[in-house]
Chain A
Amino acid sequence: MKFLAPLVPLVLLTAISEFLVREGFVRAYLIPAPSDVFRAMIDSRLELAQALLSTSAGSLAGFSMSALTGIAIAVLLSSSRAVQRAFYPYAIFFQTVPLIAVAPLLVIWFGFGIQTVIASAFVASVFPVIANTLSGILSTDPPLRDLFKLYHASPLATLFKLRLPAALPQVFTGLRVSAGLAVIGAIVGEFIAGGGLGSVVEIARTQQRIDKVFAAVLLASLLGLGLFGLINLLSHLMLRRWHASEQPQ
């Protein structure tokens, strides 16, 4: 039942849109019928599969870099109030720069190809990891900090045995947000640098193949969903014994 519930609106929406397009209430060049999208997927399956593979690689690489770099930056920022005051505003500034405006610069710096896609996915997805990890590290239970102080724990021991494990639930919150953003970043990168589903969307758009555009968008969304599911699985495995978010309600 848990897995069937989200399928109900999907089936309903598919049926309604199929009906609306077939009966001419909505023009097919604006929104294609679901059956046309499905057909486009079958017809262009090889091209779409290769594009999906390429976007997956770019998204995963950018997301992994975001996870590692984001956690490392959060740890550095948490090391002292002074470091935090000096550098955190730049992290926020980095987040507010519009990705679509920066993407052409990424091509200049990294050239055409997967490296720009990875950089774009990274830029889009790193901030939620930094913000959530930092918040998790800073909100470590004060009596537990006192306990570690009482036993003269080294800063490294405090970090690895207390602060990072305590921050894990919030790290996963950041990673969930970041997973979706990494796919968006990769697609934006592909618009500029070429390759992957972004490129398929761009070319199909110029050919007025709206069904193919929808097919590529659907695959990109499924990729984001898959990445999100992967993080959820990891979170469940790591937190299920001790954190309320992963325990039965």
Chain B
Amino acid sequence: MTSTSRGVALQLEGVRRVFDNNRVVIAGMDLQIDPGEFLAVLGPSGCGKSTLLRMIARLSEPDSGHIRMQPDGEPFQTAFVFQDAHLLPWRDVLSNAALPLELMGEAKLTRLEKARAVLGQVGLLEALDRYPAELSGGMRMRVSLARALITEPRLLLLDEPFAALDEITRFHLDVQLRELWQGRGMTVIFVTHSVSEAAFLANRAVVLGGKGAAIQLDRRLELPAVRNNELRGDPRLGQEMRLLLGAIEE
């Protein structure tokens, strides 16, 4: 957790979600997330990770239970990064990144200025007038990240954002995401399949599994605050990965 956290705190109480075919995806989950925490959510495919993320984003409602956010009621404090970049293909990079502010009614000059600044943070200043079809997968994902960050969210939700990327690009984006989180002090919930990515990025990891997305493991990762590529060969990272993998395989 960063010392200057402006992230939200989240409290999930008895959260339950049942799909239309009566399949219980999440059966009464309790989870407390502190402000400014970087939480990784792991688990096998179809275990309810994305459903959980959608409910936290209020894109779908739990059938019972509560999700409380503190502070609450502030508009546009949550941002979401999807599995693929999902950019508007008919807009260039600059206006894709500025989209959230446009929807919020921000004046054109201000929003484009902010979009330039946030695209600079993700290293895309030379691609402002390019279209998504003209970008690599990694660049598209960085635009998606910039679009999420432009509203200066207190809560950033990421649903397996780097899953489709090659390993080198993923390593690079992992480091970049971690730096952005440290600089901004927001709360991050990162859903992933990758044990190595979860251990590298997060301060805390939750492993879901079994029926109804039961929490198999909830662990604070004992790793240094500064994460760079040197850490990838560190035995402490290997130890954390083994623990997480063990919980998934149980």
Residues of A within 8 A of B (CB): 141, 143-144, 146-153, 157, 161-162, 165-166, 168, 239, 241-244, 247
Contacts and interface: CB of A to CB of B under 8 A. Distances in A.
Interface stretch (B3-11, B80-88, B179-187): B80-88
Contacts of A143: 82-84, 86
B102 interface: yes
Contacts of B54: 146
Secondary structure call for the A interface: helix
B73 interface: no
15 contacts: A143-B83, A144-B88, A146-B59, A147-B82, A147-B86, A150-B58, A150-B59, A150-B79, A151-B103, A152-B76, A161-B102, A161-B103, A165-B90, A166-B88, A242-B131
A153 B102 CA distance: 9
Q: Considering the complex of A and B, which 7 residue pairs feature the smallest CB-CB distances, nearest first?
A: A242-B89, A151-B103, A143-B86, A143-B82, A153-B103, A241-B131, A242-B90
Nearest to A238: B90
Nearest to B85: A143
Interface of B: 54, 57-59, 75-76, 78-80, 82-84, 86, 88-90, 99-100, 102-104, 131-134, 151
Contact of B103 (A148, A166, A239): A148
B133 A150 contact: no
B86 A141 contact: yes
A242 B100 contact: no
Contact of B104 (A147, A151, A165, A243): A151
A108 to B, nearest CB: 45
Given A150-B80, A151-B151, 17 more contacts: A144-B88, A146-B57, A148-B103, A150-B57, A151-B76, A152-B75, A152-B104, A153-B103, A161-B88, A161-B102, A165-B88, A166-B88, A241-B90, A241-B131, A241-B134, A242-B132, A243-B90
Contacts of A152: 75-76, 103-104
Contacts of A153: 103
Given A146-B59, A242-B131, A151 B100 contact: yes
A150 B102 CA distance: 13
A157 B59 CA distance: 18
Given A147-B80, A241-B133, A162 B88 contact: yes
A243 B132 CA distance: 10
A151 B147 CA distance: 12
A171 to B, nearest CB: 13
Contacts of A244: 133
Contacts of A141: 86
A168 B90 contact: yes
Contacts of B78: 150
Nearest to A241: B131
Nearest to B133: A242
Contacts of B151: 151
Contacts of A165: 88, 90
A243 B133 CA distance: 8
